[in-house]
Amino acid sequence: MKPLRIGIVVESTGLDVRPALVAAARMGAQGIQVDALRDLAPDGLGATGRREFRNLLRSFDLELAALNVPLRRGLDVAEDLQPRLERVRKSMQLAFDLGARRIVVACPKLPDDPATPRANLMRESLAALGTYGDRIGCVVALEVGYDPSEKVKAYLAGFDTGSLKVTYDPANFLLHGHDPLANLMPLAGLLAHVHARDARSAGLSRGLQEVPVGAGDTDWMAFTATLQVLEYDGFLVVEREQGEDKLNDVINGVTFLKRFALPV
């Protein structure tokens, strides 16, 4: 078994990209996930800029774990869908050029009725992106969690492409009422990217809330051991969406996960 590679989500630090790379290197992270926006927007980063960013990563001994593509509307929404798909395709090319070869895109809740217009739209969108990914060599790592993993596995099995895979976030599964450990194993062969994010009960009236990695209901020893059994070879990136001191939470998260990075 290989050691797990630990990374961070740049946006979770609250820093701009270059200071975030400095912070990542200092905390001992090995890679980053960053949004395909602003300085790293596909349309604004030409061949020279892409080469310079690769060199910048190398100078900090970091890799690009994945490129995240935030979308205001999902891949199951008809309004402005074609420009949205084109933006995703451009981000896929950018991810390939920067060495990540994987993008993260939010996966809507899977349709129960495959005959509805939303279901058809979502299937057409994913088929188009999967075909493009096969052609250029870039994976679309769908961030799941709304649905149990068996349903996700069965849904993705209906596509004739090898480029539609999964971004796994245990907090997503917790927040939607699913066991994050039990839902990991069924996705063997589909895991392209993993977020290290945690959640726990905040009381009967408030339900679950996101907390720093290691402070929630995820059994990280069992979770990381399962990743190693599955021979997962991607990154485990620390993410923090809430909190008053997210940078410190990310630093502590990297330190915490390093305890489990080596094979047992």
Angle between helices 17-27 and 47-59 (to 10 degrees): 30
Q: How many domains does the chain have?
A: 1
DSSP state of 63: E
> Considering the domain boundaries, does residue 263 fall inside one?
no
At residue 219, the pLDDT reads 97
110 inside domain: yes
pLDDT, tens digit, 9 for 90 and up, residues 27-84: 999 999 999 999 999 999 999 999 999 999 999 999 999 999 999 999 999 999 999 9
Task: Identify the sign of the CA torsion 148, 154, 158, 160.
Answer: positive
Residue 115 lies in a domain: yes
- Residue 69 sits in which domain range? 5-258
Domain annotation covers residue 264: no
Per-residue pLDDT, 207? 75
Q: Identify whether 44 is part of a domain.
A: yes
**Can you give the pTM of this predicted structure?**
0.96
Residue 13: CATH number of its domain:
3.20.20.150
With H, G, I as helix, E, B as strand and everything else as coil, classify residue 92.
helix
Kindly compute the dihedral angle of the four CA atoms of residues 46, 86, 11, 233, in this order, to the nearest 10 degrees: -90
**E strand segments, the chain:** 5-9, 31-35, 63-68, 102-106, 139-143, 164-168, 191-196, 198-201, 208-211, 235-238
pLDDT value of position 208: 87
Task: Write the pLDDT tens digit of every residue in 190-248.
Answer: 999 999 999 997 765 567 899 999 999 999 999 999 999 999 999 999 999 999 999 99
The pLDDT score that the predictor gives to residue 14 is 96
- For 168-197, what is each residue's pLDDT tens digit? 999 999 999 999 999 999 999 999 999 999
